[in-house]
Amino acid sequence: MRVAMIGEPVGLSSDAAELIEKAAGRVVSMKLQVPVVLFLECMKPFTFLAEQGLILLAPLLMPVLGPGKVEGVCAFLAERSNVDRLVARIEELSEADA
């Protein structure tokens, strides 16, 4: 599992783009844009802690979710700008849906 160090520039990988697209589509289809965007904006400063928590819990989560999903979410949370991209994509899909 590759983990980015603080301040290390990480581009948008295809896995992150796929995760953003799937998550945003699901949120918009369930009409949960407002609470999810509010939650993501409030929790943005804690993405590093969430990533570290997932790394700590990875041995317990991998048998249930699969190693690919756990590593993908860890890599996604390693870059704080991914949360901004997710929020922006939710807002784009929400405007297109309206």
Give the count of domains, the chain. 1
Average pLDDT on 79-89 reads 92
**Residue 49 lies inside a defined structural domain of this protein:** yes
Average pLDDT on 13-32 reads 91
Range of the domain at 65: 14-97
Residue 78: predicted pLDDT: 87
* Number of neighbours of residue 79 by Cβ within 10 angstroms: 20
Average pLDDT on 32-46 reads 94
Average pLDDT on 16-42 reads 94
Give this prediction's pTM.
Answer: 0.79
Statement: residue 11 has pLDDT above 70: no
**Residue 45 lies inside a defined structural domain of this protein:** yes
Statement: residue 53 has pLDDT above 60: yes
**Residue 1 lies inside a defined structural domain of this protein:** no
Residue 89: predicted pLDDT: 95
